[in-house]
Amino acid sequence: MKRRKYASKKWRAAPVRLFVYDAQQCDKHKCTAQKLKNKEYVKFLKINQVPTGAIILDPLAMRSISKEDHDFVMNGLLAIDCSWNKYDETITKSIKAKLNRRCLPYLVAANPINYGIPSKLSTAEALAAALYILGYKDFAHEILSCFKWGNNFLILNEEPLEDYSKAKNSAEIISIQEEYIP
């Protein structure tokens, strides 16, 4: 009888389970989600594998992620890894209503592709921002340490991230972000 070899990697211990739906629309060499997967921070899932009740980071959502989402995020935090130009198409075809959709408040990208562009965050930046706002600041720093530019995201957005992390709910975050939108 042959022994089966399983090539399973141990998923890093984390305060929140991080998931990515990969729409396979980006360059794998530049993909921040792929790098996080290789470092065992995230798990790639098909959309039908996402745990019920998990939070999906969706820039089209009507509510911002906030501390009031703490219980939901215990089911997992999902980011969509796709081209910004094809986001609408990917979201409408793939995302089910069973997920709790949350947007991120106003932040500025520090990744090399969209540096300085408001709200065009990489998958890694989006996950780290959500973690920071939810109070998992150390884990946000850890994830971004995988990238040369990662710390720049935290420096560039230090003040808004701190203010957002102190907000109790989505309404407070939306109010706070008005101070940062030019």
pLDDT in tens, 97-106: 556 889 999 9
Question: Apex CA 82: angle with CA 68 and CA 158, to 5°?
Answer: 45
- pLDDT score at 5: 38
Whether residue 103 is contained in a domain is answered as yes
CA distance 141 to 138: 5
Record the pTM: 0.86
Whether residue 99 is contained in a domain is answered as yes
Question: Apex CA 126: angle with CA 176 and CA 62, to 5°?
Answer: 55
Range from 10-19, 65-74, 90-99, 152-161 that averages highest in pLDDT: 152-161
- pLDDT score at 45: 87
Q: Write out the residue range of the structural domain in which residue 80 sits.
A: 18-177
- pLDDT score at 11: 55
Whether residue 1 is contained in a domain is answered as no
- pLDDT score at 46: 81
Max distance between CA atoms of the chain, in angstroms, equals: 67
Torsion 82-83-86-88 (CA) sign: positive
Whether residue 9 is contained in a domain is answered as no
pLDDT digits (tens, 9 = 90+) for 75-101: 999 998 766 555 555 554 455 555 688
More confident residue, 40 or 9: 40
Whether residue 84 is contained in a domain is answered as yes
